[in-house]
């Protein structure tokens, strides 16, 4: 029972939430890697203030996000979350003061708090009962890939050059917008398939 085969790690039915998780996870990897240096650059002595604001915002919205995704649909709620994340990453890269930095942190936290439970719920919805573990494994692998690639890419782009902070954050915003675009196209494709059947 402890042996894990390759087929236990991928569930094709959950490709959509896994892809959204990977694209949005990139931003989280970026935040974890270069926010401490960015805090120093903005002369914010407490490096943890971003994470405090982000965490409070994320926790405060999670219950509402779960109820909203039940009512309005997983993909529709994720569209809002991915757009919020794209805007948050743009604002972080553009921040020049403590207040703008904290506002961006709160928006990032709200976007994360909305997207995480919704992606989990969508993954469970799409996973067959007998392969629910495989579905969640697929989503977690996508999350790890997103965070890892985000961390590596942001560190490489930033490269201890403060002028590259905006670019490093904005790449995450672009990928979040790609997640939004995918969600829009995925819905259109589903509607066309439904119309033909």
> What DSSP line would sit under 123-160, residue for residue?
HHHHS-GGGHHHHHHHHHHHHHHHHHHHHHHHHHHHTT
Cβ-contact 39, 137 below 8 angstroms: no
pTM value is 0.90
Structure tokens at 31: 């935040």
Model pLDDT for residues 35-60, shown as the tens digit of each residue:
999 999 999 999 899 999 999 999 99
Model pLDDT for residues 93-143, shown as the tens digit of each residue:
999 999 999 999 999 999 999 999 999 999 999 988 887 888 888 999 999
């Amino acid at each position: 029972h402890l042996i894990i085969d390759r087929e236990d790690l991928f569930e094709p039915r959950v490709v959509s939430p896994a892809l959204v998780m990977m694209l949005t996870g990139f931003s989280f990897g970026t935040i974890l890697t270069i926010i401490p240096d960015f805090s120093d650059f903005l002369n914010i002595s407490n490096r943890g203030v971003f994470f405090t604001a982000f965490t409070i915002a994320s926790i405060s919205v999670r219950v509402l996000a779960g109820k909203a995704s039940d009512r309005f649909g997983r993909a529709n709620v994720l569209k809002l979350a991915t757009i919020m994340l794209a805007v948050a990453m743009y604002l972080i890269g553009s921040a020049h003061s403590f207040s703008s930095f904290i506002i961006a942190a709160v928006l990032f936290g709200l976007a994360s708090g909305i997207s995480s439970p919704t992606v989990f719920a969508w993954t469970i919805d799409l996973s067959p009962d007998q392969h629910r573990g495989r579905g969640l494994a697929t989503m977690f692998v996508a999350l790890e890939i997103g965070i890892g690639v985000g961390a590596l890419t942001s560190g490489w782009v930033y490269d201890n050059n403060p002028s590259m902070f905006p670019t490093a954050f904005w790449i995450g915003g672009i990928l979040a917008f790609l997640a939004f675009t995918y969600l829009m196209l995925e819905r259109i494709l589903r509607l066309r398939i439904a119309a033909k059947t």
